[in-house]
């Protein structure tokens, strides 16, 4: 006898099931159609092709559950359990459909025994285990990131649990009633059946089997129908969103064509791209973004999760008649202000922790910047401190209002090729100093250290001196794309005039901007952060960190724009390691999970008006390592953390040094 089973055993009037199924599908389709219409309001975005590259990447990421298993491993494991449970049970159901409704009899033989019986049985059990763990995580462990609104979650989990449990009960009863010869292949189902067999007569069991079967079917159809109307929709949207992920340069904001653009930024929901709107429905409300957000952690009115969910709620509640109506550019925004408060938008440091954490690749930062663009460029309404910064950028091409230093002050006593003074000087690499490195007193010391180390290594380098202007990064992050493009174009002109090919930038913000955003405007250079370049000099033996004084134990703080934005985690660590003879101690949050110092996205030029101070929060984590020195690789981090350390632990608690300064001390003759 070929191993198989009867599909509709003990069930009559099977047409009723088909009617119910059709009804659930209709509700399901209607729900998705509503969502689809809302996504379609959005602006065009090239996010669907190339199919091959996207599909391969997405399948790998989805089926390996890697984004979930990477962090919060326990939660990742139970999600993987029910993810795989669902996948297998869905496949098993598909097999039934092919076997029964298409009449292609595949549900038999070894395939029936191994996949349809054993594997489906075990994965069903895994899924139950996953669900129970999820309950525990929410209601016993009470994970902070899953608050608020866990009531919906409870219903959802309960429904899934009931579906899975009734599935095993039906299977178990069928095994008992049919004296299934292959029962051993369905161990969990058999156990369920055996447990019931002792308590019920065969006749009662037959009746109960029928009742539970219909109950199970109704629950499943209900679940399907409910999907597009609840966060269960993520079963479909999340993998789809992973397919639609940004394949372009990481962290590079989309440029605006200022000559042609009718709108500058987003003041109405439908001005987002369709992909932005799709993001909103991909959210699983897992809260990973929120618990890694420096703004949220310091009590500011921003949670990336709440931002996405507020937008989602607004989108779902929006009247489709109002959408798409040609909006007067001067009309008050129904979105920025009423739905997403200005203060929320001005709380973001653009540190990208939310995007790094999000398992379904929602892009929060570009949305925030889009809405900032509206505030800054269309309404000209933004915080006073940032207005002062903008004025300074316009008049003096640096973001430090009231700065008394000049761009060449730090050079005093150093022999350098300053292209502003000697345009014909020969050089191999251009040392991009940055406004902070030139104008901020503490960072001038770092700039000098870099110049000294480069000189020691015999690198032929030049600086732009007075010809250097702000890269435009602070303007771009606050949404002032217009000013960014002005500054960037001027810098590209200057760099091209001096035929610059390789740039070594001392500031991760400059570095990111020059490397990843200038190509958008036609500026193409090989750009390295100084930590990368110095690491190479050490590796090549051009610098020998063997002399000078050691710094004692060192920890390292990852700058967002070096680490998360550009994946440079090891070069600065290696430099510190070389200089100390031991790798740096790691802080509580490090590398891709590092907590922002609070200096990005315009915050270096703005007072924190609410909550606790972000730099102090990070300083506490770094102090907890017990290190004697904090290594940094960014001028904003330098200022933020020096201040943070002093406020938290007092004047002389420990030193904050740039990796270049550590190297400079170790390469003294």
Partner 1 sequence: MKNVVALLIAAPGGLRRTEAEVLSAGRRLADGLGGTLAAVILGAAETSWDGDAAAYGADRVVRVEHAGLAEYQTEMMVEAARRACAALQAEVCLAPSSTYGLEMAPVLAQKLGAAVVTDVIAASGEAGQVKITKPVYGGKANSELIARKAPLVLVMRARSVAVLERKAGAAAETSKLDVQLDAGLAKSRIVERKQEASAGARLEDARIIISGGRGLGGPDGFKLLVELAGLLGGTVGASRAACDQGWVPASWQIGQTGKKVAPDLYLAVGISGASQHLVGISGAKHIVAVNKDEKAPIFETSEAGVVEDYRTMIPALIEAVKKHRAAQGK
Partner 2 sequence: MHLVVCLKQIMDPELPPGDFRVDAQKKEAVRGSANLVISVFDENALEVALQLRDAAGGGKITALCVGPESAVDALRKAISMRADEAIRIREEEFPALDAYGTARLLAAALRKLEPADLVFCGREAGDWHGAIVGGLLAGELQRPFVSLMAGAQRAGDLFVLRRQTDEGWETVECAGPAVISVTNDDANQPRIPKVKDNMMAFRRQIPAWGAAELGINAAEINGPNAALEFASLGIPKSERQCQVIGGESVEEKAARLAQKLADLHVL
Is residue 415 a contact point for partner 2 (CB under 8 A)?
Answer: no
Q: Choose among partner 1, partner 2, none what residue 607 binds, the Cβ cut-off being 5 to 8 Å by kind.
A: partner 1
Is residue 416 a contact point for partner 2 (CB under 8 A)?
Answer: no
Pick 325 or 412: Cβ nearer partner 1: 412
Q: Choose among partner 2, partner 1, none what residue 643 binds, the Cβ cut-off being 5 to 8 Å by kind.
A: partner 1
Pick 402 or 413: Cβ nearer partner 1: 402
Tokens 């999340």 — which residue? 238
- Smallest CA-to-CA distance from 256 within 151, 156, 372 is with 372
Does residue 526 sit in helix, strand or coil? strand
Distance, in Å, from the CA atom of 209 to the CA atom of 628, rounded to the nearest integer, reads: 70
Pick 237 or 392: Cβ nearer partner 2: 392
Binding window for partner 2 (CB under 8 A); candidates: 5-13, 57-65, 406-414, 528-536? 406-414
Pick 526 or 647: Cβ nearer partner 2: 647
Smallest gap from Cβ 612 to partner 1, in A, equals 15
Pick 272 or 636: Cβ nearer partner 1: 636
Which residues lie closer than 8 Å to 436 by C-beta, 6 or more apart? 443, 507, 604, 635, 636, 639
Among 115, 214, 482, 569, binds partner 2 (CB under 8 A): 482
Q: Choose among partner 2, partner 1, none what residue 175 binds, the Cβ cut-off being 5 to 8 Å by kind.
A: none
Q: Extract the tokens encoding 592.
A: 């891709």
Q: What is the dihedral of CA 216, 222, 223, 224, to 10 degrees?
A: 110
Is residue 396 a contact point for partner 1 (CB under 8 A)?
Answer: no
Is residue 412 a contact point for partner 1 (CB under 8 A)?
Answer: no
Handedness of CA 144, 147, 151, 155 (dihedral sign): negative
Pick 475 or 504: Cβ nearer partner 2: 475
Does residue 651 sit in helix, strand or coil? coil
Residues paired with 461 in a beta bridge: 429
Is residue 592 a contact point for partner 1 (CB under 8 A)?
Answer: no
Among 262, 404, 426, 581, binds partner 1 (CB under 8 A): 404
Binding window for partner 1 (CB under 8 A); candidates: 18-26, 273-281, 537-545, 642-650? 642-650
For residues 476 and 484, is the Cβ–Cβ distance under 8 A?
Answer: yes
Q: Extract the tokens encoding 491.
A: 């810098």
Is residue 391 a contact point for partner 1 (CB under 8 A)?
Answer: no
Among 17, 403, 421, 521, binds partner 2 (CB under 8 A): 403
Is residue 377 a contact point for partner 2 (CB under 8 A)?
Answer: yes
Distance, in Å, from the CA atom of 662 to the CA atom of 552, rounded to the nearest integer, reads: 11
Q: Extract the tokens encoding 470.
A: 């702000």
Is residue 379 a contact point for partner 2 (CB under 8 A)?
Answer: yes
Q: Choose among partner 2, partner 1, none what residue 183 binds, the Cβ cut-off being 5 to 8 Å by kind.
A: none
Pick 356 or 643: Cβ nearer partner 1: 643
Is residue 489 a contact point for partner 2 (CB under 8 A)?
Answer: no
Rounded to the nearest angstrom, the gap between the alpha carbon of residue 530 and the centroid of all alpha carbons in its chain is 26
Query: Pattern of binders to partner 1 over 339-378, x per CB under 8 A?
Result: ----------------------------------------
Is residue 409 a contact point for partner 2 (CB under 8 A)?
Answer: yes
Is residue 396 a contact point for partner 2 (CB under 8 A)?
Answer: yes
Measured distance between the N- and C-terminal CA atoms of the chain, rounded to whole angstroms: 87
Among 73, 105, 441, 460, binds partner 1 (CB under 8 A): 441
CB atoms within 10 A of CB 179: 7
- Sequential DSSP letters for 531-598: HHHHHHHHHTTSS-TTSS---SSEEE---TTTTTTT---HHHHHHHHHHHTSPPBPPSS-GGGPPP-S
Q: What is the dihedral of CA 369, 565, 543, 429, to 10 degrees?
A: -50
Q: What is the bridge-based pairing of β-strands 526-529 and 554-556?
A: unpaired
Q: Which H or E element spans position 503?
A: strand 502-505
Is residue 405 a contact point for partner 1 (CB under 8 A)?
Answer: yes
Is residue 652 a contact point for partner 2 (CB under 8 A)?
Answer: yes
Is residue 254 a contact point for partner 2 (CB under 8 A)?
Answer: no
Query: Pattern of binders to partner 2 over 323-362, x per CB under 8 A?
Result: ------x---------------------------------
Among 380, 539, 582, 624, binds partner 2 (CB under 8 A): 380
Distance, in Å, from the CA atom of 42 to the CA atom of 154, rounded to the nearest integer, reads: 33
Q: Strands, E, within 541-589: which ranges?
A: 554-556
Residues paired with 502 in a beta bridge: 429, 526
Smallest gap from Cβ 383 to partner 2, in A, equals 11
Pick 402 or 669: Cβ nearer partner 1: 402
Distance, in Å, from the CA atom of 87 to the CA atom of 90, rounded to the nearest integer, reads: 5
Is residue 548 a contact point for partner 1 (CB under 8 A)?
Answer: no
Is residue 38 a contact point for partner 2 (CB under 8 A)?
Answer: no
Among 401, 519, 548, 577, binds partner 1 (CB under 8 A): 401
Pick 589 or 640: Cβ nearer partner 1: 640
Distance, in Å, from the CA atom of 107 to the CA atom of 104, rounded to the nearest integer, reads: 9
Q: What is the bridge-based pairing of β-strands 629-632 and 655-658?
A: parallel
Smallest gap from Cβ 505 to partner 1, in A, equals 23
Is residue 607 a contact point for partner 1 (CB under 8 A)?
Answer: yes
Q: Choose among partner 2, partner 1, none what residue 387 binds, the Cβ cut-off being 5 to 8 Å by kind.
A: partner 2
C-alpha count within 13 angstroms, C-beta hemisphere, residue 13: 7
Handedness of CA 201, 204, 206, 211 (dihedral sign): negative
Among 203, 262, 321, 384, binds partner 1 (CB under 8 A): 384
Distance of CA 531 to CAs 569, 573, 614, 652, Å?
A: 10, 9, 25, 26
Q: Choose among partner 2, partner 1, none what residue 406 binds, the Cβ cut-off being 5 to 8 Å by kind.
A: partner 2
Residues paired with 474 in a beta bridge: none
| Number of helices followed by number of strands (H, E) in the chain | 27, 8
Pick 135 or 482: Cβ nearer partner 2: 482
Is residue 593 a contact point for partner 2 (CB under 8 A)?
Answer: no
Q: Choose among partner 1, partner 2, none what residue 378 binds, the Cβ cut-off being 5 to 8 Å by kind.
A: partner 2
Distance, in Å, from the CA atom of 274 to the CA atom of 264, rounded to the nearest integer, reads: 17
Is residue 655 a contact point for partner 2 (CB under 8 A)?
Answer: no
- Sequential DSSP letters for 53-97: HHHHHHHHHHHHTHHHHHSSHHHHHHHHHHHHHHHHHHHHHHHHH
Q: Which residues sit at the interface with partner 2, rule CB under 8 A? A: 258-259, 264, 329, 377-380, 382, 384, 387, 390-392, 395-397, 402-406, 408-409, 420, 466-467, 482, 650-652
Q: Which residues sit at the interface with partner 1, rule CB under 8 A? A: 384, 388, 401-402, 404-405, 441, 444, 607, 643, 646-647
């Amino acid at each position: 006898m070929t191993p198989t089973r009867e599909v509709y055993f003990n069930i009559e009037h099977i047409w009723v099931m088909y009617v119910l199924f059709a009804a659930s599908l209709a509700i399901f389709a209607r729900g998705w159609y509503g969502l689809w219409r809302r996504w379609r309001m959005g602006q065009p975005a090239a996010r669907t092709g190339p199919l091959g590259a996207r599909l391969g990447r997405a399948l790998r990421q989805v089926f390996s559950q890697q984004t979930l298993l990477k962090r919060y491993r326990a939660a990742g494991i139970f999600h993987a359990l029910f993810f795989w449970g669902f996948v297998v049970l869905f496949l098993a159901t598909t097999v039934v459909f092919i076997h029964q409704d298409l009449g292609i009899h595949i549900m038999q033989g070894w395939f029936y025994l191994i996949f349809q019986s054993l594997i489906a049985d075990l994965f069903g059990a895994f899924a139950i285990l996953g669900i129970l763990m999820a309950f525990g995580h929410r209601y016993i462990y009470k994970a902070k990131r899953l608050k608020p609104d866990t009531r919906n979650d409870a219903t959802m989990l309960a429904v899934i649990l009931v579906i899975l449990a009734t599935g095993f009960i039906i299977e178990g009863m069928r095994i008992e009633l049919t004296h299934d010869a292959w029962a051993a292949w369905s161990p969990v189902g058999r156990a369920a059946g055996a447990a019931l067999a002792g308590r019920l007569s065969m006749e009662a069991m037959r009746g109960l089997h029928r009742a539970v079967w219909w109950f199970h079917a109704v629950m499943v159809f209900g679940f399907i129908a409910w999907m597009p109307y609840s966060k269960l929709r993520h079963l479909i949207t999340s993998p789809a969103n992973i397919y639609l992920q940004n394949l372009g340069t990481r962290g590079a904001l989309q440029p605006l064509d200022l000559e042609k653009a009718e709108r500058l930024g987003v003041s109405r929901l439908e001005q987002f791209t369709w992909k932005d709107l799709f993001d909103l429905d991909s959210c699983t409300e897992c809260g990973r973004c929120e618990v890694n957000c420096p703004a949220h952690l310091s009590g500011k009115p921003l949670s990336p999760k709440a931002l996405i969910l507020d937008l989602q709620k607004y989108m779902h509640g929006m009247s489709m008649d109002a959408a798409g109506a040609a909006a007067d550019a001067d009309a008050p925004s129904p979105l920025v202000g009423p739905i997403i408060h200005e203060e929320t938008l001005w709380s973001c440091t653009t540190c990208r922790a939310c995007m790094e954490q999000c398992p379904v690749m929602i892009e929060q930062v570009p949305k925030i910047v889009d809405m900032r663009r509206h505030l800054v460029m269309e309404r000209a309404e933004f915080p006073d401190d940032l207005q002062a910064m903008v004025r300074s950028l316009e008049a003096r091409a640096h973001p430090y209002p009231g700065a008394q230093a000049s761009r060449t002050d730090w050079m005093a006593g150093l022999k350098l090729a300053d292209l502003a003074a000697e345009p014909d000087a020969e050089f191999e690499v251009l040392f991009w100093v940055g406004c902070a490195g030139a104008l901020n007193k503490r960072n001038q010391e770092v700039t000098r250290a870099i110049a000294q180390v480069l000189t020691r290594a015999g690198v032929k380098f030049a600086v732009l001196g007075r010809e250097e202007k702000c890269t435009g990064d602070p303007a771009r992050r606050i949404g002032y794309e217009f000013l960014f493009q002005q500054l960037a174009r001027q810098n590209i002109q200057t760099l091209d005039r001096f035929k610059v090919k390789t740039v070594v930038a001392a500031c991760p913000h400059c570095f990111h901007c020059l490397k990843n955003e200038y190509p958008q405007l036609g500026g193409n250079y090989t750009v390295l952060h100084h930590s990368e370049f110095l690491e190479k000099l050490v590796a090549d033996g051009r610098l020998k960190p063997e002399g000078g004084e050691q710094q004692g134990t060192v920890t390292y703080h990852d700058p967002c724009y070096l680490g998360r934005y550009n994946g440079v985690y090891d070069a600065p660590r290696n430099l510190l390691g070389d200089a100390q003879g031991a790798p740096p101690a790691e802080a509580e949050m490090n590398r891709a999970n590092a907590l922002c110092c609070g200096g990005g996205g315009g915050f270096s030029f703005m007072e924190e008006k609410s909550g606790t101070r972000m730099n102090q929060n990070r300083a506490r984590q770094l102090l907890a390592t017990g290190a004697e020195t904090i290594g940094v690789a960014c001028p904003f981090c330098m200022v933020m953390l020096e201040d943070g350390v002093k406020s938290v632990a007092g004047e002389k608690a420990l030193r904050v040094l740039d990796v270049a300064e550590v190297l400079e001390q170790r390469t003294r003759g």
